[in-house]
């Protein structure tokens, strides 16, 4: 099931996406069956349906926290002249960095070099702590597309990545949560990024150094994850600059495409 979060007539709801998003011209035929309740607990489909074209898609979740992993693809670490860390290298992106499909990425005034980073995002479905490897599958609601937008020059000059990775609009998520992928499938998906239609990144989640299981076990040793929290799993090689006016699209096999435009502040 694909679960979207959307607004219509001033109301916010979750809905199950019906139709094939990969079919040519499919967006016109997609509909949302409005969910009774929230996807983090037992819910029912209401049977009330609205065309996707009539709603505004929002970030599929509003996470309490986004835990992101740096240098989890060897080729990406190498392209920036970095070594691969011996253990998962985690950092946070604040909830205020999250935007949805179609929302603008606002170029920060303190940077002159902003990069795209296409990533698979894992959406947590239940409160969890110290998750054993064999239970990882039970705490995952599903997967979505993410763009870990990064002020690269700031990242290189500041010891902490808070500003470089956490500025407003630096965490696009969407377009929806795919709940139908198991861990085996999620561990070998194509991940691409295009800028103005030009292919920039092309990798597979099978190239991750630390697997999804590795990451959730590692993170929950230290902290509690809440329903709706998001884990960014790292980016493949090919990151590059974004400029005001650019349109960046992150596509993940079996999930969909997340598209955002870059604008100047002010």
CA atoms within 13 A on the CB side of 120: 31
Helix, strand, or coil (residue 82): coil
Same domain? For 155 and 30 the reply is no
Same domain? For 94 and 148 the reply is yes
Mean pLDDT of 203-208: 98
Same domain? For 43 and 72 the reply is no
% of the chain with per-residue pLDDT over 70: 97
- Measured distance CA(135)–CA(172) in Å, rounded: 28
* Cβ neighbours for 141, distance < 8 A, ≥ 6 positions apart: 39, 40, 123, 124, 125, 126, 177, 179, 227
Mean pLDDT of 33-47: 94
For residue 235 the two structure tokens come to: 């980016």
**Contact present, 242 and 262 (Cβ < 8 Å):** yes
CATH of the domain at 14: 2.30.30.370
Write down the pLDDT at residue 20.
Answer: 84
Same domain? For 207 and 231 the reply is yes
Same domain? For 12 and 70 the reply is no
- For residue 204, whether the previous peptide bond is cis, meaning omega lies within 30 degrees of 0, is no
* Cβ neighbours for 133, distance < 8 A, ≥ 6 positions apart: 213, 217
Mean pLDDT of 145-153: 98
Write down the pLDDT at residue 118.
Answer: 98
Number of Cβ within a 10 Å radius of residue 145: 27
Mean pLDDT of 235-263: 98
Same domain? For 38 and 96 the reply is no
57, 88, 103 — which closes off a domain?
Answer: 57
Please determine, for residue 37, whether its predicted confidence score (pLDDT) is greater than 80.
yes
Q: Which residues of 151-173 are buried (b: 16+ CB within 10 A; e: fewer)?
A: bbebbeeeeebeebbbbebbbbb
Same domain? For 103 and 183 the reply is yes
CATH of the domain at 74: 3.90.850.10
Same domain? For 50 and 91 the reply is no
Provide the domain limits for residue 152. Answer: 66-264
- Give the CA distances from residue 260 to residues 47, 58, 68, 69, 169, in Å, rounded to whole numbers and listed in that order: 31, 12, 20, 22, 10
Write down the pLDDT at residue 122.
Answer: 98
Please determine, for residue 136, whether its predicted confidence score (pLDDT) is greater than 90.
yes
57, 84, 99 — which closes off a domain?
Answer: 57
Same domain? For 164 and 95 the reply is yes
Split into its structural domains, the chain has a count of 2
Same domain? For 103 and 18 the reply is no
């Amino acid at each position: 099931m694909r679960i979207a979060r959307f607004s219509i007539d001033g109301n916010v709801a979750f809905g199950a996406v019906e139709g094939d998003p990969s079919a040519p011209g499919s967006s016109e035929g997609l509909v949302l069956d409005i969910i009774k309740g929230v996807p983090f607990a037992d819910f029912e489909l209401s049977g009330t349906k609205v065309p996707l074209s009539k709603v505004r898609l929002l970030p599929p979740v509003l996470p309490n926290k986004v835990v992101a992993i740096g240098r989890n693809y060897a080729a990406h670490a190498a392209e920036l002249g970095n070594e691969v860390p011996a253990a998962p290298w985690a950092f946070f992106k604040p909830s205020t960095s999250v935007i949805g499909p179609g929302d603008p990425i606002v170029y920060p005034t303190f940077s002159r070099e902003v990069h795209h980073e296409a990533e698979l995002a894992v959406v947590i479905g239940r409160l969890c702590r110290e998750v054993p490897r064999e239970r990882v599958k039970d705490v995952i609601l599903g997967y979505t597309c993410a763009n870990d937008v990064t002020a690269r020059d700031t990242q290189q000059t500041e010891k902490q990545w808070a500003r470089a990775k956490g500025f407003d609009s630096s965490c696009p998520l969407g377009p929806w949560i795919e709940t139908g992928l198991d861990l085996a499938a999620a561990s070998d998906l194509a991940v691409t990024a295009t800028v103005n239609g030009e292919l920039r990144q092309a990798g597979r989640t099978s190239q991750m150094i630390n697997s999804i299981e590795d990451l959730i076990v590692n993170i929950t040793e230290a902290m509690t994850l809440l329903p709706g929290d998001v884990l960014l799993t790292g980016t493949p090689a090919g990151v590059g600059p974004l400029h005001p006016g650019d349109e960046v699209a992150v596509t993940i096999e079996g999930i969909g495409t997340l598209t955002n435009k870059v604008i100047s502040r002010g």
